Structure 1
Amino acid sequence: MAHPSQTPPRGHVAFVGAGPGDPELLTVRAMREIQSAEVILHDQLVPEAILSLASEGATLLPVGKKGFGPSMKQDDINALIIAHASSGARTVRLKAGDPGVFGRLDEETEALDAAGVPYHVTPGLTASTAAAASLGVSLTKRGRNSDLRLLTGHDVKGFAEQDWRTLARPGAVAAIYMGKRAARFLQGRLMMHGGAPDTPITVVANASRPNERQLPSTLATLPADLDAADLDGPAVLLLGLAPRAARAIAFARQEVS
């Protein structure tokens, strides 16, 4: 297996985190691996601004999965990765955000292990970190929360159940991925377990990208606010977090104008 600081050899798979979307938030190693790849199998959420960093002769293959939408089967994705790596191509599996955060990394590395194909993983900045940075707040804070939960709004079985009692406690902070369609479900579960109606929830869509949008909301108004805002693109729901006061005022002025 190649040392991750070197360009991956042929027949090797580099799992690369593309970060939340802003090319300037790519790691140096991710940039190098993208530029040296001969084949890039990429998620649907990886933007053109990052795909354009590939070399002119690279083959770009979309293998994205979309919640509640058409998706390539995981077994087919695994087979494609193995086929290109086994052909001797310098192969990059490019995943939005961090490969290990709701990115099905284990399913793909297990398939490579079974096929005897070497690989390494380059982490990326996950969307919740970029979203909190845009709000000017921290994901953890002394006296408020000593833990942080990363949750998914839905899984392969539908809306995902969580430890709602813990999440409903005052001061709890969680980043909820793929949660827009689950907003009414999340609201119902949290309020059923004692969540305060005025609990802040900020929705950040397209975090770090030029078309980023921030929607300050509360547990009581979240579904209605999301319906009215009609946000496009991937979004993270930051439970327990609100923008700093100055940023919230600026957001309100922007909406009025």
Structure 2
Amino acid sequence: MRYFPIFLDTKNTECLIVGAGEVAARKLELMLKSEAHVTVVAPEVCNTVHSLAGHTQVSLHQRPFQEQDLDDKAMVFVATSDTSLNQQIQQLARQRGVMVNVVDNTPLCQFITPSIIDRSPIVIALSSGGVAPVLLRYLRQKLESVIPANISRLGAFSEKFREKVKQSLSGVIARRYFWEDVLDGDIAEFIEKGQNQKAEQQFLAALDAAKINQKPEGQVYLVGAGPGDPDLLTFRALRLMQKADVVVYDRLVSPQILELVRRDAEKIYVGKVKSHHTLPQNDINNLIVQKAKEGNRVVRLKGGDPFIFGRGGEEIQTLIAAGIGFQVVPGITAATGASTYAGIPLTHRDHAQSVVFATGHLKDNTIDLNWPALAHANQTLVFYMGLTGLAIICEKLVEHGLSADTPIALVQQATLPEQKVVTGTLTTILANPATATIAPPTLIIVGSVVALHSSMNWYSDNPQSPEAVHR
């Protein structure tokens, strides 16, 4: 992030605009939406600037720029047609520590003005750093269409009662829960429709009720984060992630998904790798109970689906014993994510009429599975957490009846740009040099459906690779 987004308090701020053509006029119009005092300096002035100069916030000086024009200024917009003059003013401003924007010359800008959606007091700013203005306009258009025009009424209402709520409810969490209930319910509807009297009556009644019980009841949400690609999150998962007070997440939650969590939520990493656990499972169970008892909304964020090799059942049993309320949000499990993005259908009428999910890492650290039940033709096997036991898996499946030529695929970091797929057979996969480059998290898919990968692989964007896209 080269350009850090920041909102400046423009009250009593002095701003300078050098230039008075139509480009400068656009900057003047923008600054007049703020509370800043604006000084405009230029020897020639266009009609638009002349008409705006009558505003009490504007001082117009029709003359060439002078260095003392920068005195006491907090920011300056340079919008002349003289390139050398623009560069000179930029250098003078930087020397004085004045923030400077040279219009349409990003390399000379210390700051840039974003695209703005103004629903004051709610203001949304968007920027592409000057590299994608058309995309920026497209995004602004989309946002303008989904953000209600009357959202400003909600902002003004919140401002009016903010201090009263702060005095009435002592805890930060209690205040947050209260405001969320207001904004999600009928009170917000009344405000948006302009029915302020009815809204205030219901608001004050709700606040009186909240005073009686200020200790919010904690809740735990077991949320499936899916296989990695944030586009595969459910709407409900995203909504809860953005309302959470505490997020307890594991190693399989991708950084891209973690970026979507509410910024000021407490994030606690409890990831596990083979033979090394940041926290043992019992400690994780106790942690989410403790955080919920403190009145927090706790999101237990798990890669894939909480109920498919995610220990969700164990954690829920602990919550039930502790009397903690909970909800479960399913996610796309790694098996379906990996198979789909690798172009390997788990079932196919010509290949497999059943599919079995198995773990390659049992509770006692063995791979003592029901091999006779697994070693059947016309079914697909998906092994979670099985990479370190790959040799044993291949050996046992052949030993119990599967053909040595049965196709097998290793799918690493499924659904992410770094996804890698290595294929072979039960007897050749270990000798494939590419197998040595595969690391967790990796799923193993076994069955004749793997043979379809070469023709159905749609995800890879490298046409020279073995995982090339086929269209």
Normalising by structure 2, we get a TM-score of: 0.50
- For residues 13-28 of structure 1, the aligned pairs below 5 Å read 13-28=220-235
8 A Cα contact 1:12 1:118, kept in partner: yes
* Matching residue's letter, 1:103: G
**Which of 184, 199, 202 is equivalent to 2:391?**
184
Q: Could you report, residue by residue, the CA deviation over 1:98-136 in whole angstroms, capped at 9, with x for unpaired residues?
A: 000111111111111110000010000011101111122
Q: Distance in 2 between matches of 1:213 and 1:69?
A: 25
Alpha-carbon distance between aligned partners in 2 of 1:95 and 1:193, rounded to the nearest angstrom: 34
Report the CA distance between 1:75 and its aligned residue. 1.4
What is the match of residue 339 of structure 2?
132
Superposition deviation, residue 27 in structure 1: 0.4
Gaps of 5+ in 2: 1-180, 185-215
Contact 2:353–2:378, Cα closer than 8 Å, also in 1: no
1:256, CA displacement in angstroms?
11
1:111 to 284, 306, 318: 318
Q: How many angstroms does 1:253 deviate by?
A: 3.7
The question of 1:164 aligning with 2:400 is answered no
Residue by residue over 1:163-204, the C-alpha shift from the partner in whole angstroms, topping out at 9 and shown as x without a partner, is: 322322222211101111111111111111122111001111
Q: Distance in 2 between matches of 1:256 and 1:95?
A: 28
Which residue is equivalent to 2:356?
149
SS at match of 1:41: strand
Any conservation in 2 of the 1:33–1:92 contact (CA below 8 Å)? Answer: yes
Judge which range, 143-152 or 170-179, deviates more: 143-152
Deviations, residues 190-235 of structure 1 (Å, cap 9, x unaligned): 1111221110011111000111001111101122237744113301
For 2:294 and 2:429, how far apart are their aligned partners in 1?
Answer: 49
Pairwise CA distance, 1:252: 9.2
Residue aligning to 2:295 = 88
Query: Residues 66-85 of structure 1: matches in 2 within 5 Å?
Result: 66-85=273-292
Q: Distance in 1 between matches of 2:376 and 2:257?
A: 39
Q: CA RMSD in A?
A: 2.4
Unaligned runs of 5+ in 1: 1-5
After TM superposition, give the deviation of residue 142 of structure 1 in Å: 2.1
How far is 1:140 from its partner? 1.4
What SS does the corresponding residue of 1:203 show, helix, strand or coil?
strand
Please give the secondary structure, in 2, of the residue aligned with 1:173: strand
Q: Secondary structure of the residue that 2:276 maps to in structure 1?
A: coil
In the other structure, the counterpart of 1:3 is none
Q: CA 1:226 to 1:69, structure 2 compared with 1: closer, same or farther past 3 Å?
A: farther
The question of whether the paired residues in 2 share the 8 Å contact of 1:168 and 1:196 is answered with no
The structure with higher relative contact order (CA 8 Å, sep 6+) is: 1
By how many angstroms is 1:245 displaced? Answer: 3.2
Residue aligned with 2:388, SS: coil
Deviation, 1:255, is 5.4
Distance 2:394 2:381 in 1: 14
Q: Match for residue 33 of structure 1?
A: 240
1:254 match:
465
Contact 2:344/2:456 (8 A) holds in 1 = no
Contact 1:216 1:248 in 2 (8 A): no
Indicate the residue corresponding to 2:121 in structure 1.
none
Structure with greater Cα Rg: 2
Contact 1:180–1:226 under 8 Å retained in 2: no
Q: Distance in 1 between matches of 2:388 and 2:337?
A: 21
The 2-side partners of 1:183 and 1:107 are apart by 27
Q: How many residues align?
A: 251
- Pair 1:244-2:453 in alignment: yes
SS in 2 for 1:184: helix
CA deviation string 1:137-172 (max 9, x = no partner): 321122432221100111121232223223222222
Give the partner amino acid of 2:465. Answer: Q
Secondary structure, counterpart of 1:111 in structure 2: helix
Please give the alpha-carbon distance, in whole angstroms, between the structure 2 residues aligned to 1:227 and 1:69: 26
1:49 aligns with 2:253: no
In 2, distance between residues paired with 1:119 and 1:207?
29
